[in-house]
Amino acid sequence: MLPIFLGVAIIGGCVGIFFLPAKQKPVPHPDPASPGSHSRASSRIARPSLRLTITVFIFLIFGVTSVIHAERPNSTAGTSNAGARKLFIDPSSSSVALRGKAGLTVSPLTHRDGNYVGDYQLKVRPYFFKSEKGSLLLAASDDAVRKLQAGTPINFSGKAVTHKDGRSHIVLGRATPSSGDRGSVTFSIITDDAKIVFNTSYHFGT
């Protein structure tokens, strides 16, 4: 849009400068009684035409400047807002050994220093002694977040650290977007006893 507007401004200014005064120039009518009357009349008519042309040209220049300032913030919006919103993970569950069931709940994750960080809670039924709470960190660079929001699936890794005794679990996963704001995600949490896989959904929000 900017090149088109700039072209119109330049063409309009040139047309105004070279054609407006010529178009409004009156046909000379010699007056024997006052030889200088024709030149004075032409000067009076030409001056308003020139002022009008300059006014139109300045207006077009200000229009181009306004378009430039209006479009400049939009060019950087995608970059600056890549990780500005929080990441929400829907609760999920998975079967474990001996007919048990593990439920995973993740707090809203905030993007900080190239990672999504938050808390998690793992509840295992009927083996409640295996349940745990802790902090969750998922590696996600700005470039990876932009790819995800653009519709490209990404693989990620991270770690879960328990609050109780500081034990760490490796976290692996893959996020597959269905739109720019949401999609499906698979978590694999490797605990001391097994690898638990959770299939759930995610979305971005505030």
What confidence score (pLDDT) does residue 193 get? Answer: 80
Global confidence as pTM: 0.62
What confidence score (pLDDT) does residue 73 get? Answer: 41
Which DSSP letter does residue 114 get? T
Which DSSP letter does residue 139 get? E
For 44, 83, 85, 135, 195, the CA distances from 206, given in Å and listed in that order, are 64, 11, 5, 20, 32
Residues 167-191: b if buried by 16+ CB within 10 A, e if exposed: eebebebebebeeeeebebebbbeb
Give the domain ranges of the chain. 2-80, 86-205
Asked if CATH classification 2.40.128 holds for the domain at 86-205, the reply, yes or no, is yes
pLDDT per position in the chain (206 positions), as tens?
544 444 544 555 544 544 444 444 454 555 554 455 554 544 554 455 555 555 544 544 545 444 444 444 443 444 346 668 999 999 999 999 888 999 999 999 999 999 999 999 999 999 999 999 999 999 999 999 999 999 999 999 999 999 999 999 999 999 999 999 999 999 999 988 889 999 999 999 98
What confidence score (pLDDT) does residue 119 get? Answer: 98
CB atoms inside a 10 Å sphere around CB 62: 11
Contact 120, 106 (CB under 8 A): yes
